[in-house]
Structures are given as structure tokens and as C-alpha cells.
Structure 1
Amino acid sequence: MTYKPATQDQLLAIRANAGIAELAQSERYAAAEPDLVEAIVEGVGQFAAGEWAPLNRIGDLEGAKLENGVVRLPDGFEAAYQAYVEQGWNAIAGSAEHGGQGLPFTLACNVLENLGTANMALNLLPMLSVGAIEALEAHGTDAQKETYLPDLVSGAWSGTMNLTEPQAGSDVGALRTTAHLIEEGEHAGKYRIKGQKIYITWGEHDLAANIIHLVLARLPDAPEGSRGISLFLVPKYHLKDDGTPGARNDVRCVSLEHKLGINASPTCVMSYGDNDECIGELVGAENRGLAAMFTMMNNARINVGSQGVQIAERATQAAVAYALDRVQSARAGAEDRSPVAISEHPDVRRMLLRMRSLTEAMRGLLYYTAGQVDRGDIGEPQAKARAEVLVPMLKAWATDTGIEVASLGIQVHGGMGFVEETGAAQHWRDSRIAPIYEGTNGIQAADLVTRKLGLEDGEALQNLFADIARAAADEPQLMALAGECAAIAKWMREEASLDDRLAGSVPYTAMCAVAVSAWCLMQQYDALDDSNDADRKHAKRVTMRYFLDHIVPEAIGLKASATAGAALLYELDSSVLAA
């Protein structure tokens, strides 16, 4: 099917939820004037629809292939990525000092939302590079920034994150990759890296001229656990004196994972130092690698949360198109017994409206979170703390909800959704990775009820719910949900054990995310007060009302699970579970 960018709804969320006009009043983001914002959103939408979307199905069917150590992508991928680089989309939020446009992170999120909706697998390539850029900007030396950032910012080179190892999983502190200082010779002052990493997204490919791997490794005599991890920059190609790629480094892809979805995104098993000649540079301080890696983790988690929006938008468009075209049975109770499009049947209409309402609500949460990041970057301390508490909500709830919407898309298609020809199944398969990577959603929920719960002595969360409650004066269901979120946060901090908090963390995170998302839809509807487009305002009212009347009450119902405690979870011995 043809993909149509959700340009107008994106612009509405950027204005109403991110507050782009207020950001443009700051000196840092003064260039983000309305005309430029519209040009970016409309331009990247058209580019995504024209260049990347047609490759989505091809990528799923053909996938990435490893041939003699080289990853091959389907025809068209290289040209599509080069067009992306040449048009400057990768540089939207990059620092002007290194060739970027210096625009708000909010607009970079919009670029990735459009590209990911068009082609989620290919979009993972620039998405990972964003993290590498952030880590180097925050922790790299002046020489490293000067050497690597211009080509990373432009997209000519790509970046990766290398955390996971076969024996470690989410326990990064258990990694075994090593780094040894080179004291003499050509590479004196650098390090020999040796080890293996798994699940490295776009760890090997030929779409970019060089790949800059950020690798966590352990120095000799480093402390045990996560306190003894350092971060290293390992290029695929060593650089010549003129800064261009030269000889190949001792790093290679040994295999590609066979995955449920995102088939065109090469998920690599990477081997470093098979010949003991993998050379890397220390980034930041020794034994502070995990902190450096987490510099890029927050924004990476926002961009993963965006994938929930992306897959939901694409699945919704496909389901609506099919439902309008598929004619079957007469409308129940109608005098005219002629068959009608299935979009006229109540349950199909329920699914379509739920899909649209959830997608628009997730989009509001995405841009509200991005806007808070931007406000924090221009010195608003409350916004910085608010972004911290929003990130786990966005990453966890949006990616879980993306799966729900993709699943509903299959249901709308009926039996045709379960076969591959319609493409509906691809949306669900692609969606299923997002709750897993960049910290599983259980880890996100744990983060919310441990570290984020006490942020600013608990006020970061409580102030958020107070703001929602004030806005919901005429919406008793949302006011009740905001009150429950605040009360549960207080109970978790003052009464619940750590086990009790963790046992209720996932439903609690969903409650919080739904409350914020409902508020975001209300902000969008209010922002349309001056709109001359009556049809658009009516449509937003309906999707907002569906969310307030159906989704918010469901979230209130999660209170029992959020506060049930952990005792029942441990009544059965582990051996009994396997019986």
C-alpha cells in the first residue's frame, strides 16, 4: 500500500506538546521558526514516502545477507541511504561546530519518526548513529570530536553501540571483552581490544564509508562489575593521515541473527581482535564507560519509543485502507441488506478508532518528551527532570502499544492479515523487537519505580501528576487516574518493599504513560481552537474522547495489579513452575 506521512498531526504535536514556538524564543533554537519547521516536517515526510517506503516490503522479503564477511542489502538500500545523507537529514540536530544544523532534538525525532514509519529496518542505521554522536560530544577529546564527528553528523559514517555479550545479556557488568594499553609503536597510547559482542544493529554494512563502533570493555585490574567498564572507539577502518578511511581494523562480523522481523537490519555478532590487532581509543575516563554509554541511552530510548508510534501509524494506515476496500455483509440492523465495506461494522470501527486514538496519543507523548529534553538543554531544570521520568514511560508503553496496534491491524485484515501477502504481519513482526532492546520494558519500569521515583525527592513525578490533574478539571476519569498515579508513587516510596515496587512496576508505568498521553491529546485539541479546519478539529475531538472514555478507564483498572505486591509471585518454588 502507499504510505502517506502524518504531516499535519506531527506538526500539531510538535506545536502543542513539544512547544516548538517557545523553544524558538531561545537563542540556541532561534532558527526553529514556523516556516522552517513546516518545511522540515513536510520535506522529510515526502522523502520518506518516496525513497524509503517502497523498500520496506523488499527489505522484509530479501533481508540482509552475510557473504564472505560482507553484509549485502537489497537493491535500492544504498541509494536510499545516500540520498538521505546528501539531503542533510542526518544533520538536523547535530552541532553547527561539526557540520550540523543545530536545530532542536524534537525535529530530529520527527525525521526518525517519518523514516521509521516508512522503513523501520533501514531507519535503525541513522538511529544508532545518533547515540554515537551524543557520546562523543559529551565524553570525547577535542581530537576525537574533530576527527570523527563531522562525518558522523553528516551520516557519511555510521555508529554503533556494543554492550551485549553472549553470557551477559542485560547484566552489562558481566562482560568479558578486554582492552590493553599499547605502550610502544605506531599505536602507542591506544588500546588492543579483544572480545565478542552480540545483537549489534548495523554492525557491518557498506552503506556508509566507515563504521565507528563504541565498545564497552574491561581494562586489566579494573574493579568487578559495572564499576570496572570503560568505553572505546573502534573504527571499522583505520584513518589515513588525511582523515579518510584506510586499512581495515581487526574487527569483523561473524554471523547475522535470524530474526522474527526487521529482516533488512543486519543484527550482527561482532568479533574484535581475532588476530590481536583490533585498535581502539579510550572515550572518557577509565572505568566510567557505562556512564558514558548512558549519555546516549536516554535519547536512544526516546527514539525506540518512537518506533511504537512508527509501526502503529503504518499498521493503522494499512488497516484503514483494507477496511474501506473490503466489502462484506450488510450492516447489522440496516434495512438495506446490501454488503458494505467492513469499516461500517461496529467492531471493525472500534478497532480502527482504537488504533488511531492510541497512535495519536503515543505521538503526543513522544513530542512532549522530546520537547522536555530540548527545554532541559536550554537550561530549564524542571524540564530536565521531567524528561527523566517521561523516558521510561514512553519507551515502555509506546513500544508495548505499538505491538497492540499492529496486532489489531492483523485482526482488521482477518485471515488476509495472517498471510504474508498483505504486509500486515510484517508490522507485527517488526514491532516485537522494540520492547526488548535499549533496555527491556521491564527494565524501563524498574527504572521508573526505583531511580525516577525519588527524583527531586519525589517531586518530579508528583508535579507531573499535579499538572495533569489541573488540566483535567472537567475530565473526572483522567483526574482520577492522575490521582491514583500520585497516590501509588507515594505508597511505593513510603510503604512498599523493593520487591513490591518491582512487582507492580509494569502496570504502574502504563498507568502513568496513559495519564500523560491523555493530557497530550487534550493539549492538541485545545491548540486547534483557532483552526479553520472544522473537520480536523472534529476528528481530533473523537480520537481524544475515545482515549479518555475507553483507554483511561482501562488504565485506572491497573491499580490493583500495580499495588498487589510481590508475595503471590513467590508462593510457588521455582522448581514447581517447571513441573
Structure 2
Amino acid sequence: MAGRGDIEMADYRAPIAEQMFVLGAVADLPGLSGLPGFEVAGLDTAEAILGESARLAEAVFAPLNRSGDREGARWQNGTVTLPKGFREAYRDYAAGGWLGLSAHPDHGGQGLPFVLCAAVQEQLTAANMALSLNPMLTLGAIEALQAHGTAEQQALYLSRIVSGEWTATMNLTEPQAGSDLGALRSTAVPAGDGSYRIAGQKIFITWGEHDVADNIVHLVLARLPDAPAGPKGISLFLVSKFLPDESGHLAKRNDVQCVSIEHKLGIHASPTCTMQYGEKGACVGWLVGAEHGGLAAMFTMMNHARINVGLQGVAIAERARQDAYAYAAERIQFGPIIEHPDVRRMLMTMTAETQAARAIVYMNAAAVDHAHAEPDADIRARWKRRADLLTPISKAYGTDVGVLVTSLAVQVHGGMGYIEETGVAQHYRDARIAPIYEGTNGIQAMDLAGRKLRGDGGAAMAELQADIAEEISQWRNDTRRATMEQALSLLAEAASQMRAHDQAGAGAAAYPFLNLCAGVIGGWLLGRQAERAEEMKASGEGDHAALAAKSSVSDFFLSQRLPLALANIAAIRCPAEMLAV
């Protein structure tokens, strides 16, 4: 790389072997395949699916990442045009049936585990985050309509969304509300025929308008005329860009418009829209779920989206990590820079943090699967507690890792990383939104410290601690086991301290507590993978170099990254008054 004319961004390669290892060792896909409805979802099926999705990610999505960033989404007179190639790429994605991977077969889906769908989504996001945001939001809407939609709504809308013929969005916040959904002002007035007339403005609507599919189905939060104040007074409504007849033919344009798109730091090819409903007083919508039940329906979408957003952090970190390794191997400065200890430290940090975040998100997704599919109600409830506990950690830690690793990728590239032609600056710009949307990471921390730690009397955290303790007691590596025993002791102290804090103290310590939890859980899951890798190596299974790398990554994380997470105990012990400004 003698000059700028020689700069080329490394190609993305889906980490199938790594994904398969985590699906087996962490998500226990073989165990999931023993549950009703998941019988075909074994490791062989997963490997075949990931091989096919890798081809789509590498050959179709990834080549459009740079060009899409440069061209960006364009708005004119209410119409949004996506960059060249995006329409064709989306059509390839839809034609492959990828949106229906985890949807119920009754609606045209394949009914496969969410965790396998997440692994596919990781590949597509790493290849092209801006384009992948379209299906990510649509997947959340599928979950909401499956859980809360009427039979008629499912028949008319859901099957066409699952097929990819139509896309879908979430319309939550408004200019005056931000994250305070209790301040929403959009209204829904009964029309007397079972429909409603929706009016209001929504902001930050990802893929709210585009030209890659024939119709867009918006799920919109609004208030009925008799709605109580606050978040308990919101309801969810389905608003279709075009009003379909009973056969699904798109007969008439609805009174909904995109009035502008945002000019952003990153994800330039993903249109972030301001949507205006009922400007002419004629926006037709239909209630989804119960009146004033929008909060429950919203969280169905939101929790699904939060896990997938954590996955975005993993994906963009993986892409940046690959680029950094490729550059370090070929860049010569006093020899190849990959031989310099500080560069190796950065690369190992990138690898360890990415693998820890991936393990947490995959475990979270698998817990959702168990919570849906386990035959025993008590076991389902236990898995739901685990999924709920992990969701804010997945979202916050995964997206923080995305920012950390993309920033390190810029650093590994040195001055060339600050130049757009290398591509790593785009990764950094794209990653920065993820800690903000779907509930900022501070909100995730408050959710963990409040509802998730205290709401069930501490049951979910106690179960997690017990599971970690039982497993690490059986580890063969003494150093690994001792390190995690100490970490688990600090986690217990931290949880006890958080429950003892008043509201101000809990708020001040919430983010440090989430970081400590993520470090302990990440260390546990990397240690599990190392123990499994060493068992396989001893029995002559697998690629010995790859298995040895698992041990190296685990030991690096436990010795160099986990202590940083555990240091948060000092902040957790401090009173809220320390935050006086």
C-alpha cells in the first residue's frame, strides 16, 4: 500500500466456522432441535443455511456497502430512492425466503429457531448494515403481528410481509417525546367501520419510505380519544402505505407521507424518515391488539429489535476486525505491523470482545427460543426470565463492542484508517448509531438494574449466578476456574449493592453494573468455549489451530478484559452524590 491509489477494502467473509461453534457450544442448537417445532434445526441444517446466506452476504450485500454509503438514500417530493443495486439485492433476499426463516409456518415461514435467524442476520449486517436494517425492522413487525394481530390482519398482511413482498416498520417516537413514549400525541379516532383515522408525526423511522418493495406496512403508536395519560394510554395501529383490497391488490394510496429524511453520521443508504400521518384527515389504520395495549405490543417488537441491534454491534465489529487483520498482515512498517506487540494487543482485544458479545447475543436468542418452545410451563418461565435478563445486556454490550472494535480498526490502520477509501471509517460511522436507537444504552442499563434485577425478586439473576457457579466448578483449567469464581463473587456483591441502592444510587450505578455483568457473562461463555475446544482437541476432533485459538482468546479475555469490567465494582459502591456536576 504505497499510495492512496492502491487502497482497497478487504472483502467480507462470513465467519461460518465461528458461528457454528457458538451455535453448538453456547446456544446448544442440538438441544433446541429436540424441542417441538424445531426438529429439523440441527447443526447440519444450520451449516447448510449459513453457507447459503454467506453467499448472499458476500456476493450481493457486501459489494453495495461502499457504493451505497457514497450514494446514500435520496428524498424528493415524498419519494425516497435507494442507491443503485439495493432494489435488486432486496429482491434476491426476499426471493430466497430469508424473511420467513423463523416465522410460523402458518404464515409462510419455516419456523426455525430465532438463534439461527440471528446468525443469518449477523452475516447480512456485517456485509451491509444499511441494507440489512430493512429486514431487521420487518422481522420485529412479524413478531408483533404473530403475537397480537387478528386472523384477518395475519391473512392479509403477515403472509405478504413474511414473503418479502411487502416490508414493515416500527413508528414509535415523536419530536417532543424522544424515549418518553408517555408523551406521544399521535391520535387514532374510530371511523365507525372498524377502522381508525390516524393523525400525527413520527420521527427516526428506519426505512419508513423506499423503492425496493411495492408496499410498506407501518406499525404506529397512537392514542384513542378516551386514552389515559402516560404510556398506559397508547395503542398500536397498522397503517398500510397502500390500502389493499381483500385479495391483497394495492388499490389506493393511504394518507401517509415521508416529509423528509435525516442527514446522518453513518448508515447513509438507510433512509431515516419523518413520517406524517393524516395530513388530509384520511389516514386509515387498524387496531393491533387490545385498546390501550400498545405498550405490550411495542415491547414484543422492541425486545426482538434490541437483541438484533446487539447483533448489529457484533456484526460490524466482525467486519472491522477482519479488515484490521488483513491490513496488519500486509502493512510494512519496521516489518509487518501484525508483529508489533501493541498491534497484536489491539487485534486480540477486537477478537475477544467480538466473540464475547456474539456468545451473549446467541445465548439470548436461544433463551427466547426455549421460552417459546419448551413443553413445560415452569421451564418456559425460567427461560423467559433468562431471555429478559440478557436482552438489555445484549443490546448495550453488543453495540458498545461495535463502537470499540470499529474504533480500534481505525487505530490499527493508523492514518489510513482516517481516510474514507480504506472503508474502516465507514464501519465506525455506521456502528455509532447502534448504542442510541431502540432505547439508548443508558436506558438498557436502567432496565437491567430496575425491572430485570428487582422485578422478579432477583430470581433471574440468582438463577444465572447458580448456573455459572455449577458449570465453572467442573472446568478442568484451574486458572480459568479460579478467575471466574472471583468474578462471580464480585457479581454477587454488585447485585446485592444494586438492590440496596435508592433510586438515585441505582441510576448512578446502572451502567457500571451492566458492564460488570457483561464482562462476567462474556468471560463465562468464552471459558465454556475454551473448555469445549480443549476436549475436542484431546479427542482428535476439529481444526487444532482453530481450537487452540479458542483457548487463547478466552485466556486473553479473562486476564486482560474481564479485570476492566470487574473494576466497575468501585462505581457500583459509590453514592449517587459522586455524580454532582
SS in 2 for 1:456: coil
Please tell me the residue identity of whatever aligns with 1:310.
Answer: A
| Aligned-pair CA distance for 1:244 | 2.1
- Native 8 Å contact 2:498 2:572 kept in 1: no
Q: 2:179 aligns with which of 161, 170, 180?
A: 170
Q: For 2:54 and 2:523, how far apart are their aligned partners in 1?
A: 26
User: Do structure 1's residue 300 and structure 2's residue 334 form an aligned pair?
Assistant: no
SS in 2 for 1:509: helix
**What root-mean-square deviation, in Å, do the aligned CA atoms of Structure 1 and Structure 2 show?**
1.1
Superposition pairs of residues 326-345 of structure 1, within 5 angstroms: 326-329=331-334, 340-345=335-340
| Aligned-pair CA distance for 1:484 | 1.2
User: Do structure 1's residue 503 and structure 2's residue 508 form an aligned pair?
Assistant: yes
Deviations 1:230-269 (A, max 9, x none): 1100000000232122211000100000100000000000
User: Do structure 1's residue 362 and structure 2's residue 357 form an aligned pair?
Assistant: yes
Q: 1:246 aligns with which of 251, 257, 263?
A: 251
Please tell me the residue identity of whatever aligns with 2:401.
Answer: T
Q: For 1:10 and 1:532, how far apart are their aligned partners in 2?
A: 14
Superposition pairs of residues 502-541 of structure 1, within 5 angstroms: 502-528=507-533, 529-530=535-536, 531-541=541-551
Structure 1: stretches of 5+ with no match in the other structure: 330-339, 573-579
Q: For 2:469 and 2:125, how far apart are their aligned partners in 1?
A: 33
| Aligned-pair CA distance for 1:563 | 2.1
SS in 2 for 1:4: coil
Match of 1:481 in 2: 487
SS in 1 for 2:501: coil
| Aligned-pair CA distance for 1:562 | 1.9
SS in 2 for 1:233: strand
Please tell me the residue identity of whatever aligns with 2:204.
Answer: Y
Please tell me the residue identity of whatever aligns with 1:461.
Answer: M
Match of 1:549 in 2: 559
Q: For 1:428 and 1:277, how far apart are their aligned partners in 2?
A: 42
Q: 1:215 aligns with which of 197, 216, 220?
A: 220
| Aligned-pair CA distance for 1:455 | 4.2
| Aligned-pair CA distance for 1:358 | 0.9
- Native 8 Å contact 1:179 1:219 kept in 2: yes
Superposition pairs of residues 174-253 of structure 1, within 5 angstroms: 174-183=183-192, 188-253=193-258
SS in 2 for 1:220: coil
Structure 2: stretches of 5+ with no match in the other structure: 1-9, 375-379
Please tell me the residue identity of whatever aligns with 2:412.
Answer: V
Match of 1:402 in 2: 402
SS in 2 for 1:548: helix
SS in 1 for 2:579: helix
Q: For 2:139 and 2:29, how far apart are their aligned partners in 1?
A: 21
SS in 2 for 1:31: coil
- Native 8 Å contact 1:501 1:565 kept in 2: no
Deviations 1:457-508 (A, max 9, x none): 2121022122223333433222222211122212222x21111111000011
- Native 8 Å contact 1:481 1:555 kept in 2: no
Superposition pairs of residues 407-446 of structure 1, within 5 angstroms: 407-446=407-446
Q: 1:267 aligns with which of 266, 272, 295?
A: 272
Q: For 2:571 and 2:498, how far apart are their aligned partners in 1?
A: 13
Q: For 1:481 and 1:93, how far apart are their aligned partners in 2?
A: 36
Please tell me the residue identity of whatever aligns with 1:294.
Answer: F
Match of 1:566 in 2: 576
Match of 2:142 in 1: 133
Match of 2:33 in 1: 24
Q: For 2:561 and 2:195, how far apart are their aligned partners in 1?
A: 54
Match of 1:336 in 2: none
- Native 8 Å contact 1:500 1:563 kept in 2: no
Match of 1:577 in 2: none
Match of 1:284 in 2: 289
Match of 1:334 in 2: none
- Native 8 Å contact 2:186 2:223 kept in 1: yes
Match of 1:467 in 2: 467
Match of 1:98 in 2: 107
Aligned residue pair count: 556
SS in 2 for 1:30: coil
- Native 8 Å contact 1:256 1:268 kept in 2: yes
Q: For 1:311 and 1:326, how far apart are their aligned partners in 2?
A: 22
SS in 1 for 2:292: coil
SS in 2 for 1:319: helix
Q: For 1:480 and 1:432, how far apart are their aligned partners in 2?
A: 33
Query: Using a 3 Å threshold, how does the CA distance of structure 1 residues 295 and 532 change in structure 2: closer, same or farther?
Result: closer
| Aligned-pair CA distance for 1:362 | 1.0
| Aligned-pair CA distance for 1:543 | 0.8
Match of 1:352 in 2: 347
| Aligned-pair CA distance for 1:127 | 0.3
- Native 8 Å contact 2:531 2:551 kept in 1: no
- Native 8 Å contact 2:169 2:217 kept in 1: yes
Q: For 1:524 and 1:83, how far apart are their aligned partners in 2?
A: 35
Match of 1:11 in 2: 20
SS in 2 for 1:255: strand
- Native 8 Å contact 2:27 2:363 kept in 1: yes
Please tell me the residue identity of whatever aligns with 1:293.
Answer: M
| Aligned-pair CA distance for 1:155 | 1.4
Q: For 1:168 and 1:11, how far apart are their aligned partners in 2?
A: 42
| Aligned-pair CA distance for 1:539 | 1.0
Match of 1:332 in 2: none
Deviations 1:38-71 (A, max 9, x none): 1011111121011100001111111100122211
Q: For 2:530 and 2:37, how far apart are their aligned partners in 1?
A: 29
Please tell me the residue identity of whatever aligns with 2:325.
Answer: V
Q: TM-score, normalised by structure 1?
A: 0.94
- Native 8 Å contact 2:202 2:276 kept in 1: yes
Q: For 1:275 and 1:175, how far apart are their aligned partners in 2?
A: 20
Deviations 1:8-35 (A, max 9, x none): 0000111111110001111210011222
Deviations 1:92-138 (A, max 9, x none): 10100010000000111011101000000100000001111111111
Greater shift, 394-403 or 449-458, is seen at 449-458
User: Do structure 1's residue 80 and structure 2's residue 89 form an aligned pair?
Assistant: yes
SS in 1 for 2:252: strand
| Aligned-pair CA distance for 1:290 | 1.4
SS in 1 for 2:392: helix
- Native 8 Å contact 2:321 2:351 kept in 1: yes
Q: For 2:494 and 2:356, how far apart are their aligned partners in 1?
A: 23
SS in 2 for 1:451: helix
Please tell me the residue identity of whatever aligns with 1:490.
Answer: S
